[in-house]
Structure 1
Amino acid sequence: MRRSLLYQVFPLYLFAILLAVGSLSFAATRVFRTAFYAEKRLDLTFTTELAIRLVEHDGAFDPDSAKQILSLIAQDRIRRTTLVAADGVVLYDSHADASTMENHASRPEIITARDTVGTVTRTRRSATTGDNTLYAVAAVRNPDDDIVAFVRVGGSVEQLDHRSRDALTALATSAFMILVATTLMSLVIVRRILRPLGIIERAARRFALGELDHRIAVQAPEEITAVAETLNGMAAELSGTISAIREQRNELEAVLSAMVEGVIVVDDTLRIRSINEAAARLFQREPRGHEHRTLIEYLRNSELDAIAAEVLERNCTIERSIILYQRGPINLQVHGSVLRSREADRPGVLLVLNDITRLKRLEDMRRDFVANVSHELRTPITSVMGFLETLRDGAWKDPERATHFLDIVSTHANRLNLIIEDLLSLSRLESHEGEIARAACHVEDVLTRVTEACGQLAVQRKVTVQRTIEGEGAVLVNENLLEQALINLVSNAIKFSPHGGRVDVRCRQEPGRLRISVEDQGSGIPYRDLDRIFERFYRVDRARNRDLGGTGLGLAIVKHIAIAHGGEVTVESAEGRGSCFVLEIPAPATRAD
């Protein structure tokens, strides 16, 4: 049967002895100390009263005479005498220079003596000597019973405290001898109690370090065993709770890391509590290192900081758009809402950042495309409608004029057809990028057909087309698309070359890659237009481009043909020095059938 912890602690008699010896020692020490202090107080009171009689002997207060009297009293250096004026100024002190001492009007003993007839005593630590001192103070009065000064006689009680401690030491030694025997007898019992408690303590430390799978196994009294079992149960529950919290945290971190949107959580002082990788990447920051830093300090964006502050101030959901200027402008849609928690008294802010740069760019492109298509189609349609109206009004009766007008209508109708065909080509390319059919073909054959297709235009503009081919063999490409891209590049080069100029077409077959460049001797392209030259309907000189024909979609088609092959098209140009377009596409070598 388990025994109670009560029967294994210090026996009751040990407690009784400790209580008796302690009470006796305390009482004896108090008696000794009281007697010592009473003797000292009596001596100082007598000395003070004697000094008062001597100072008031002839009825008139003489400071110099009083100083001599107090000096004689303090000759043994055991007593300290002080003469204090009625206003608190120290006139004389046997143990210090009175001129350097501060005003004593606020000293407790002086205040008490001012309101008391006779001698008063007070014990305190002296600010001058640093000793614990017993003071006896009495007021010096003139015949009109007015206070003219104070006589203070003090004595250090450090010796009295030493004597009290000596008495306490003697009593403590006796008590110690008594306690040693009882302590030895109880040592075995104490060890039996401390052993299981030590096991429990070490187990608790392991729990604190996170070793919650550890269990306490002790053979101990009932009370200690109950504590051990309670700790084991607590560790099991805590382990399950921490595992669940850790799993939820890992899931939350995984979700936040996988999110495309940036997520930032700040507290009520706009200090960052959490930021995911997407948000840190938007602001070119690391997702770590934000601890104890404010939103403006870490991300350096005043607009985002203002949005968070407004959410806190208005206590509502806010949606704003901001622009980050880095390598290029980044358009962000910021959704800010109040974030409340049970732990925090004041709410925080949840900021969700959506990068809408691509959507904004697509929207701009869509708007520009609609505007450009409308503009490009309006001109020929307006012309067709105008000439048809003229014919309807009677011009058809004049065969020569009617034929001329019909030729113009036919020209604009052909232009409309070309625009529609190019738009359909672009649409097909965009919908099948990366899925085009490829077949083996010889690049030399493609270039031959291209020069033949552009031959009439070259003759009209008196431009020579020269071609150079490095490498031979068949390559795997979409032959029709490659031919269309090269026709667009070569025809453009011919159109923009001066009369009598030359267009150089160079083809170089590299391992797994095909590089074709088309270089003209035209007027070149301004630097500001190079980035936009492959946009739909973009024209460097709109008036001249329409005179030369074309739909404004040729280079956009070339770009998408290159992308469809997994390649790219680039341009190098300078005003007055001509342009060089380079088409590079992956083209594995193969055998032609």
Structure 2
Amino acid sequence: MLWRSVVFKLWFTIILLVAFVLMILTVFLLEFFEDFYVQDAEENLMNQAENVAVVIDQHKETSLTLDTIDQLLAPQTSVTVFFTEHDFWQNKMDANKPSIEPSWFVSNDEISGVFNSNESVRKITTLPNSNAEIIIVGMPTVDNNGAIYVYQSLEVVEETTTKATKIILLAATIAIVLTTIFAFFLSSRITAPLIKMRRVAGELSRGEFNTKVPVLTHDEIGELAISFNRMRRQLNYHITALNQEKSQLSSILKSMADGVITVNKQLGVMLINPPAEQFLSQVNFQGDNEDYTLPQELRKTLQNVIEEEQEYAKEIVAQGRNFVLVMTPLYIEGEARGAVAIIRDMTEERQLDKLRKDFLANVSHELRTPISMMQGYSEAIVDDIAETKEEKQELAQIIYDESLRMNRLVNELLDLARMEAGHIQISKENVEVKPFVKRIVKKFHSIADEQQIELVEHVPVDLTYSFDPDRVEQVLTNLIDNAMRHTPNSGKIEVKVDESNNELTFYINDNGSGIPEEDLPFIFERFYKSDKARTRNGQKKGTGLGLSIAKHIVEAHGGSIYAKSQLGEGTTFIFSIPQ
């Protein structure tokens, strides 16, 4: 709106101030000129009366005296001369001069004092039987025997005053017009930099810091523009620094493995990172909906942390995962204004701790069995329980087999430890896949024939690929051996190789007992074994390390391995190696 702008307000203020000053000045000037013209008229009439008195005193001849008086008087002036109180003379009257009966001078108490006290009289009065005003002066003659009254109409003074008033009002009007133009020019010139600053300030509020206010003058407004530009640069610098810090903080929070939740005093979430969102979605899990609101239990705990200003730690189990929460007060200017909760997922640590304990238990269990058997059979030999040579030979063979089993277990443990430590070495070379697979499968033909298992391979001809043949042979051997141990008599095992999308994929399929669905996610863990009833031959038990070793070898090649199984119908192990 125009009337709300600084230009209008400044312009209107200047106009109002000048108009007020001109109005006061006009009033005083009109009063001054009116009084001046009245006094000037009185002085003029008094001079004429004095001249008339001198003429009357110096000339004794009446006719000559009266003619001289007529010549001395101004055209608009009238005179009445009283030689005595009843002997008077008036000059010739015309339509433009006021006419007064001589008796009125004698009977009017306000001016008759000229006869009584011989004092001069100056008076503005109204004519008898009329509303016309006159200026009248009176003075005694030189011999004090008579009186001289000179008067004229006040209209003459009013005409002069009216002309002066018109001139003053015209000058005031011209002054107001000029002032209006000057005020508008001045206000526009003064406020132009302010308008530009307002526009630049609006751009600053929208985050645009590149616009500069031009410095047009070197006065206070110019200094204001310089200060505004300096403020813009400083604001741009600080906003950029804050954005960089915010971006760094956001990147740090997003890259943190631990969850972070910051709440204010009203428990409103001010800051949260993705791990914390995942934690809340798991805590508030309801069907397929994700809810990131704070649970009631956590809200109460955070409220206690803020009110008591003490650190607090607790553990929460959600969706089968263990979370440890460490909550501390958030201080701002020495007062607790909120709280920070650090959320750490301890599931992996707990699982690793459990695996460590299970590892020790499994190793102890796997070693205890062969050691017990070796101890028992060796005692039988020492105590001569085996009497014949054939019996001693049989016991010695059992002790030898168990020692081999222990050696195999220790070697596999050492291999697995090296692989998990990252010390596995892969020596890739170009290998013809068909002869390679055929040679490995051939090693199991005798065992397959013994167990009446059909063992076949399907490998494309002329397929050459780059991988570590020794390590891949170890994987295939473990998987085929695993299939042999879980495939019943008259069963079938297929080894298939396929190449697509620059990946070499191996399929080891059997129609054995299969793996329960709940065991599939854990079959590649160390010493993990599903239902022992799935083992075809109780005398041929694995160590539980073969699949774990196979997984590490495949991943060392940059590939992946997984299994598909259906209980009672069979299992398929699939692993891929990229080119």
Q: What TM-score bracket applies, with the shorter chain setting the length?
A: 0.5 to 0.7
Alignment map for 1:548-563 (pairs within 5 Å): 548-563=540-555
Distance 1:199 1:573 in 2: 82
| Higher mean C-alpha deviation, range 397-406 or range 370-379 | 397-406
Aligned CA RMSD, in angstroms, stands at 4.0
Distance 1:434 1:232 in 2: 68
Cα offset, 1:459, TM superposition: 3.3
Structure 2 residue 560 is the aligned partner of structure 1 residue 568? yes
Which residue of structure 2 aligns with residue 187 of structure 1? 180
Cα offset, 1:567, TM superposition: 2.2
Which residue of structure 2 aligns with residue 508 of structure 1? 498
Contact 2:215 2:226 (C-alpha < 8 Å) held by counterparts:
no
- For the residue of structure 2 that corresponds to 1:299, the secondary structure is coil
Distance 2:415 2:311 in 1: 46
Which residue of structure 1 aligns with residue 307 of structure 2? 313
Alignment map for 1:431-450 (pairs within 5 Å): 431-432=421-422, 436-450=426-440
Unaligned runs of 5+ in 1: 22-175, 286-295, 589-593
Distance 1:206 1:276 in 2: 38
Q: Identity over the aligned pairs, expressed in percent?
A: 26
Cα offset, 1:465, TM superposition: 1.6
Distance 2:508 2:192 in 1: 87
Alignment map for 1:18-417 (pairs within 5 Å): 183-184=176-177, 186-191=179-184, 193-209=186-202, 210=204, 214-215=212-213, 217-219=215-217, 225-259=219-253, 260-261=255-256, 262-276=259-273, 279-280=276-277, 298-299=292-293, 301-302=295-296, 304-323=298-317, 325=319, 331-342=322-333, 347-388=337-378, 394-395=383-384, 403-417=393-407
Structure 1 residues 177 and 505, CA gap change in structure 2 (3 angstroms): same
Deviations 1:243-290 (A, max 9, x none): 1243133223223224422433321111122334554566579xxxxx
Which residue of structure 2 aligns with residue 528 of structure 1? 518
Match of 1:484 among 470, 474, 491: 474
Cα offset, 1:450, TM superposition: 1.9
Distance 2:316 2:275 in 1: 16
Distance 1:447 1:190 in 2: 102
Contact 1:196 1:219 (C-alpha < 8 Å) held by counterparts:
no
- For the residue of structure 2 that corresponds to 1:350, the secondary structure is strand
Deviations 1:201-234 (A, max 9, x none): 21330342225753353558xxxx3254145325
Distance 2:385 2:23 in 1: 137
Contact 2:281 2:292 (C-alpha < 8 Å) held by counterparts:
no
Contact 1:471 1:509 (C-alpha < 8 Å) held by counterparts:
no
| Higher mean C-alpha deviation, range 441-450 or range 507-516 | 507-516
Cα offset, 1:356, TM superposition: 4.6
Distance 1:399 1:548 in 2: 27
- Please identify the structure whose Cα radius of gyration is greater: 2
Letter in 2 for 1:199: A
Distance 2:197 2:519 in 1: 74
Length, aligned pairs only: 409
Which residue of structure 1 aligns with residue 576 of structure 2? 584
Distance 1:10 1:464 in 2: 113
Contact 2:513 2:534 (C-alpha < 8 Å) held by counterparts:
no
- For the residue of structure 1 that corresponds to 2:332, the secondary structure is coil
Calculate the TM-score normalised by the size of structure 1.
0.59
Cα offset, 1:178, TM superposition: 12
Calculate the TM-score normalised by the size of structure 2.
0.60
Letter in 1 for 2:230: A
Distance 2:483 2:16 in 1: 113
Distance 1:378 1:181 in 2: 122
Unaligned runs of 5+ in 2: 1-9, 27-168, 283-289
Letter in 2 for 1:561: I
- For the residue of structure 2 that corresponds to 1:273, the secondary structure is strand
Distance 2:170 2:352 in 1: 97
Structure 1 residues 583 and 219, CA gap change in structure 2 (3 angstroms): closer
Cα offset, 1:438, TM superposition: 1.0
Cα offset, 1:484, TM superposition: 1.6
Contact 1:212 1:236 (C-alpha < 8 Å) held by counterparts:
no
Contact 2:329 2:336 (C-alpha < 8 Å) held by counterparts:
no
Structure 1 residues 11 and 565, CA gap change in structure 2 (3 angstroms): closer
- For the residue of structure 2 that corresponds to 1:547, the secondary structure is coil
